[in-house]
Amino acid sequence: MQAKNMALNYGNFRALEDIDMDIYEKQVTALIGPSGSGKSTFLKSLNRMNDLVEGCKITGEISLEGKNIYGKNIDVNELRKNVGMVFQQPNPFPMSIYDNVAYGPRTHGIKDKKKLDELVEQSLKGAAIWDEVKDDLNKNGLAVSGGQQQRICIARALAVKPDVLLMDEPTSALDPISTLKVEELVQELRKDYTIVIVTHNMQQAARVSDYTAFFYADPAKGGGHSTVIEFGE
């Protein structure tokens, strides 16, 4: 993906300015920078989650495979299928582990039980949690540990076969062991997915990423007006 001369306003508040960034395929790009510098805002603009925020206006361009995702004739549902998202707070739906993972494929019209079984197994394996839950797929997604919940959410995102996976501080609500598991998982996933991960942890950025984009707000302009510096491998 690529951002070109991108800027974003929340009403009159200019959060992002002059953002030029390359997000390379099958690499991990970490977004770092102080709290309030616009990392989460930028992340959400990569799958148009920002369209849900009133008064949010984006100029410039963000493209996926050369196509402006804010352009005409863009199917936002299709875009969100290609660009999946995992949040800071694990948020499994209050339903079984199976139904959590089958949720995306079902909303995209897949009904065949065998096909769904296959996708659920593949996705839970892909999120390195299959062995822990395979005997209890009917268990509620909320009835497991936070670390397991987060990997179930990752499996839910993988189930619709995205190209890009956005992760918004995916480990900051997790204990150190669960954090390690998710970091190891990110290393596995990078073989198949383009990953953009927001973290406030510099060590984590160094451990998991190939590229780092540092966000900083301009104090001379009263905060906001964030731009980025990108660092290579």
Q: What are the residues binding ligand ADP (CB under 6 A)?
A: 10, 13, 15, 33, 35-41, 49, 53, 80, 85, 87-89, 91, 168, 215, 224
- Closer to ligand ADP by Cβ: residue 71 or 94: 94
What is the spatial distance between Cα 48 and Cα 120, in angstroms, rounded to a whole number? 26
- Judged by CB, which is closer to ligand ADP: 84, or 147? 84
If the CB atoms of residues 55 and 232 are measured against ligand ADP, the closer one turns out to be 55
d(CA 127, CA 53): 30
Token couple for 208? 């998991």
State the nearest-atom distance from the C-beta of 114 to ligand ADP, in Å. Answer: 25
Which CB sits closer to ligand ADP, 178 or 199?
Answer: 199
Least distance (Å) between residue 195 CB and ligand ADP: 16
115-141: buried (b, 16+ CB within 10 Å) or exposed (e) per residue?
Answer: ebeebbbbbbebbbbbebbeeebeeeb
CA distances from 131 to 121, 127, 150 (A): 10, 10, 15
For ligand ADP, give the closer residue by CB, 54 or 135.
54
Least CB distance to ligand ADP at residue 39 (A): 4
> Which tokens sit at 154?
């990752």
Q: Which of 25, 23, 29, 53 is nearest to 41 (CA)?
A: 53
Q: State the nearest-atom distance from the C-beta of 115 to ligand ADP, in Å.
A: 21
Give whichever of 93 and 135 is closer to ligand ADP, judged by the CB atom: 93
In the complex, what is the shortest distance from the CB of residue 99 to ligand ADP, in angstroms, rounded to a whole number?
Answer: 14
Q: How far is the CB of 4 from ligand ADP (least distance, A)?
A: 19
* Helix or strand run (H / E) with residue 2: strand 2-10
Tokens of 164: 């890009």
Q: How far is the CB of 189 from ligand ADP (least distance, A)?
A: 17
Can you give the C-alpha Rg of the chain in angstroms?
18
- CB contact at 8 A, 183 and 205: no
Please choose, from the candidates 96, 104, 80, the residue with its C-alpha nearest in 3D space to the C-alpha of residue 159: 104
The smaller minimum CB distance to ligand ADP, of residues 41 and 123, is found at 41
